Amino acid sequence: MVLLPLVTRFLAAHPAVNVEIVVNDALVDMVSENFDAGVRFGSGRLYDWEFEKGGVELKIAVTGPLILGDTGLMAQAALQGAGIAFAFESQVADLVAARRLVRVLEDWCPYYSGFYLYYPGRRQVPAALRAFIDFVKQEAT
């Protein structure tokens, strides 16, 4: 949703660079796994649901019998009556438009700060990673 459009534009501008994307919701030791960088939403732990309305901000550490790290699975679980899902609107728009899912707490939906690019502290950041970091910073402006 966020990374792939950036990566494809980056690769168009840097055709000599190769990018491998691994999707993993677990906390990974990037150094021992030989990753150059990672992308994670927020602080690298179970995500607290965030709500905002009229300047009042709430963060709720949600618990329950089912914890899912994939929006598709969350939507399927909600469709099967397992509870509510906290999802990006763009990822469930078709289900909402078809009235298979309904929005709840719509007036509490916050603006989110987005995803974070992180990488091991090194004296020498690989040239391709440095180029990607610079590219992402430029795209963000």
Q: Is 24 helix (H, G, I), strand (E, B) or coil?
A: coil
What is the percent of the chain with per-residue pLDDT over 90, rounded to a whole number?
23
In 10 A of CB 67, how many CB atoms? Answer: 9
pLDDT of amino acid 25: 66
Residue 44, pLDDT > 60, answer no
Mean pLDDT, the chain, rounded, equals 84
What backbone torsions phi and psi does residue 67 show, to the nearest 5 degrees?
A: -120, 125
Give 11's contacts (C-beta < 8 A, 6+ positions apart). Answer: 17, 19
**What pLDDT shows up at residue 102?**
94
